[in-house]
Amino acid sequence: MSTTPNPVIIALDAMGGDFGPAVVVPAALKALQFFPELHLILVGDETVVGEMLRKHHALNYPKLSIVHASQIVGMDEKPSQALRLKKDSSMRVAINLVKEGKAQACVSAGNTGALMATAKFVLKTLPGIDRPAIIAKLPTTKKNTKVRVLDLGANIDCTPQNLVEFAIMGSVVAKVIGNIPEPSVGLLNVGEEEVKGNDLVKDTSAILEKYSGINYIGYVEGDDIFKATADVVVCDGFVGNVMLKTTEGVLKMLTKYVKDAFTQNWFTKLSALAVMHVLKKIGKSLDPSEYNGASLLGLHGIVIKSHGSANQKSFLTAIREAVQEVEHNVPAKIQDGVAELLAANASNISNPQSSEES
Amino acid sequence: MSTTPNPVIIALDAMGGDFGPAVVVPAALKALQFFPELHLILVGDETVVGEMLRKHHALNYPKLSIVHASQIVGMDEKPSQALRLKKDSSMRVAINLVKEGKAQACVSAGNTGALMATAKFVLKTLPGIDRPAIIAKLPTTKKNTKVRVLDLGANIDCTPQNLVEFAIMGSVVAKVIGNIPEPSVGLLNVGEEEVKGNDLVKDTSAILEKYSGINYIGYVEGDDIFKATADVVVCDGFVGNVMLKTTEGVLKMLTKYVKDAFTQNWFTKLSALAVMHVLKKIGKSLDPSEYNGASLLGLHGIVIKSHGSANQKSFLTAIREAVQEVEHNVPAKIQDGVAELLAANASNISNPQSSEES
């Protein structure tokens, strides 16, 4: 499927997530079939990973290697603890491989906080970027159109300058990976005219309105996300995380409603058979595995976070996301994009408060 | 349907919302059929309202009166402007009727910000309540179980004390209207262990943990709302509004997906016919009109906010909510509940920071 001319080497945290190697190993094997230029490094306990490879009749599989790591970061472990005490964790070693240039990206389904803290510590942020952010794509009502939203939980307390950086990074990603020439950027806010947001969004908006090079379209509301009102939606990590979890919650609730309604009795079960093709089609549009693979943006290196509960198909989507970012050389492009925008706007952002007007 | 022994008098802002009297008048007529003890006062331009009544052959309809108001608050009008310049608006006059004791509640589909500001100005907050909040019910995966969430947008910037007040009010409402003996209260937060929230949620949690009389169960995440993990979910108005709009957005997106999938061709259209009964059942569980009618809690009086785009059925649900609150005498019970809780916890809340422990 891919046409990459050069090998793409990606390190996988084989022990991360709810299922560890049981999901990561088969997903890796599948990925190698998809992408002819892909090389994968499975990072984790070599005995456990080897055993899983044996189970899949894939010992000595081509373009697949193991790098041993003796520790595992727990899903509930504090990032500070993981940083201090888990220096030989599968997560840390996978990120180290990126740092050392032995891999061009890494993918982990492990603890988000630990992943972010470790990635930031090991890889460091790009020049001009104070805080990395988590970005992901969400479905919309517009055909073949996804919306990119950030930050989804890396930064709980943000400054206007942080949000402006998120807008810059989101804009660059939508342009270089999403192939959108001038991606529109919206700032997530509440709907009521009078109170129109807190100081954070007001101050951020004041900066973005004067920012050249970003197609800022102003405030958007929660429901606008799914209408594709903007190509990129920016918010702080607290709001973004609640928004993402709310979306997951509503989708799961609906899935349950549909399932319950169609399995109520033999008649509804028959009805379900009659419309299985339609239900499958709807399910596919909303399949969480199609939306797996959030990126940690703003680092010297590519780090993809898979959902902790990802199945094989979902984890494969996360690997695909990593391949795309490698092919598009996303960190370098973000670095260039950020440098360009910062230079073009150097005079505008010195005193954002001066433009405070209702 | 109702068994109220005494008349319930409710003032309706006949001009509010996207459709004004075109929705409010027929909904009012329907409500009067439902609730034998109900008296309704239609507040608005008497010519326009009269004309609409004539259209519905309901001039001189029993238990229905008109109170004239010469102005209308625009949907985008600033609350401060509405307060200053629209002293004879249908919204203001309806709230005045509650203040004067001529109505026991009012319902408006108008501008939320203006409604909140006017209600707060005219009715004043209950003793011990600094800021009123907007509360509404949302569907969950648990059968016949709804979750109450507040604040949904009245208070953009909150203190821990504000959130504690929301927890108290939500708890009282779930108990007296929802008939839940010891309603569980969750605080909306993000999922990552390490960063576990901003100072606002941490400080609020520290207070609630020591608060007697509230069944506080700790942090919940966005997806927990729809799992009915808690009976009441508390958050600030910014987060609550984004959450609510996100929920609406996802539901609308799914409705569109289902509609598109079933109307694609004659075969899928036939399939839709085969499962119409199931689709209708699912639609009913999620029907926005079943969830209309948010309450402005914490005031000396009952004010119900209907969705601006509410249709007749939705507006009727909002009227029903008002009737319930009148029957349960909600403001008095909140006042009692708040007083009781404040007295019981007087010593605990003097210095919440002293208990800061991770």
Per-residue model confidence (pLDDT) at position A63: 94
Per-residue model confidence (pLDDT) at position B353: 46
Cβ of residue B238 closer than 8 Å to a chain A Cβ: yes
- H-type alpha helices, B124-233: 160-176, 199-209
Residue with tokens 């689709």: B279
B 92-111 residues with CB < 8 A to A: 111
Per-residue model confidence (pLDDT) at position A192: 52
Residues A189-210: tens digit of each pLDDT: 987 554 578 889 999 999 999 9
Per-residue model confidence (pLDDT) at position B358: 36
Mean of pLDDT values over B28-55: 96
Q: Which of A245-259, B12-26, B47-61 has the lowest mean pLDDT?
A: A245-259
Residues A60 and A79 in one domain: yes
Of A94, A123, A152, which residue sits at a domain end?
A: A123
Of A60, A67, A90, whose CA–CA distance to A77 is shortest? A90
Residues B88-140: tens digit of each pLDDT: 999 999 999 999 999 999 999 998 889 999 999 999 999 989 999 999 999 89
In-domain check, residue A118: yes
Mean of pLDDT values over B139-157: 91
In-domain check, residue B53: no
Per-residue model confidence (pLDDT) at position A98: 98
Residues A192 and A339 in one domain: yes
Residues A94-120: tens digit of each pLDDT: 999 999 999 999 999 998 889 999 999
A 261-300 residues with CB < 8 A to B: 261-262, 268, 271-272, 274-275, 277-278, 281-282, 285-286
B 14-53 residues with CB < 8 A to A: none
- Longest pairwise C-alpha distance within chain A: 70
Per-residue model confidence (pLDDT) at position A352: 45
In-domain check, residue A238: yes
Residues B2-16: tens digit of each pLDDT: 444 579 999 999 999
In-domain check, residue B4: no
Residues A201 and A344 in one domain: yes
Residues A232 and A99 in one domain: no
In-domain check, residue A229: yes
The sheet with strand A8-13 has its strands ordered as A64-68, A38-44, A8-13, A105-108, A302-305, A294-297, A133-139, A146-150, A232-234, A184-188, A215-220
Residue A133's domain spans which residues? Answer: 127-291+331-358
A 169-188 residues with CB < 8 A to B: 188
Per-residue model confidence (pLDDT) at position A349: 53
Residues A262 and A285 in one domain: yes
More confident residue, A341 or B118: B118
Kindly tell me if the per-residue pLDDT of B219 is higher than 60. yes
Per-residue model confidence (pLDDT) at position B195: 53
Cβ of residue A204 closer than 8 Å to a chain B Cβ: no
In-domain check, residue B96: no
Tally Cβ neighbours within 10 Å of residue B154: 31
What mean pLDDT is reported for chain A? 88
Residues A93 and A77 in one domain: yes
Kindly tell me if the per-residue pLDDT of B310 is higher than 60. yes
In-domain check, residue B52: no
Kindly tell me if the per-residue pLDDT of B57 is higher than 90. yes
Residues B259-291: tens digit of each pLDDT: 777 777 777 777 666 677 777 777 776 666 677
Residue A303 structure tokens = 């780090």
CA distance B315 to B296: 16
What mean pLDDT is reported for chain B? 88
Residue A75 near residue A111, CB atoms below 8 Å = yes
For residue B247, give every residue at least 6 positions away whose Cβ sits within 8 Å of its Cβ, in sequence order, or none: A222, A246, A250, B138
Of A123, A149, A166, which residue sits at a domain end?
A: A123
Label residue B194 by pLDDT band (50, 70, 90). very low
Residues A106-158: tens digit of each pLDDT: 999 998 889 999 999 999 999 989 999 999 999 899 988 999 999 998 888 89
The verdict on a CB contact (< 8 Å) between A250 and B246 is yes
Per-residue model confidence (pLDDT) at position A257: 78
- For every residue of A341-355, DSSP letters joined together read HHHHTTTTSS-GGGG
In-domain check, residue A37: yes
Q: What is the CATH number of the domain that holds A36?
A: 3.40.718.10
More confident residue, B43 or A275: B43
Residues B232-269: tens digit of each pLDDT: 999 999 999 999 999 988 888 888 877 777 777 777 77
Residue A207 near residue A164, CB atoms below 8 Å = yes
Label residue B180 by pLDDT band (50, 70, 90). very high
Residues recorded for chain A: 358
Mean of pLDDT values over B172-198: 84
Residues A110 and A132 in one domain: no
Mean of pLDDT values over B200-226: 93
Per-residue model confidence (pLDDT) at position A287: 67
Kindly tell me if the per-residue pLDDT of B144 is higher than 90. no
Label residue A222 by pLDDT band (50, 70, 90). very high
Q: In a mutagenesis test of the B interface, which of A189, A201, A250, A259 is the best target, namely the one with the most B β-carbons within 10 Å?
A: A250
CA distance B7 to B28: 15
Q: List the beta bridge partners of residue B234.
A: B150, B187
Per DSSP, the three-state class of B66 is strand
Residue with tokens 């940083």: A83
Per-residue model confidence (pLDDT) at position B192: 52
- Name the amino acid, one letter, at B16: G
Mean of pLDDT values over A217-237: 95
Q: Could you tell me whether strands A105-108 and A133-139 are parallel, antiparallel, or unpaired per DSSP bridges?
A: unpaired
Our count of domains for chain A comes to: 2
Q: In a mutagenesis test of the A interface, which of B200, B250, B267 is the best target, namely the one with the most A β-carbons within 10 Å?
A: B250
Per-residue model confidence (pLDDT) at position A351: 45
Of A75, A90, A123, which residue sits at a domain end?
A: A123
Cβ of residue B139 closer than 8 Å to a chain A Cβ: yes
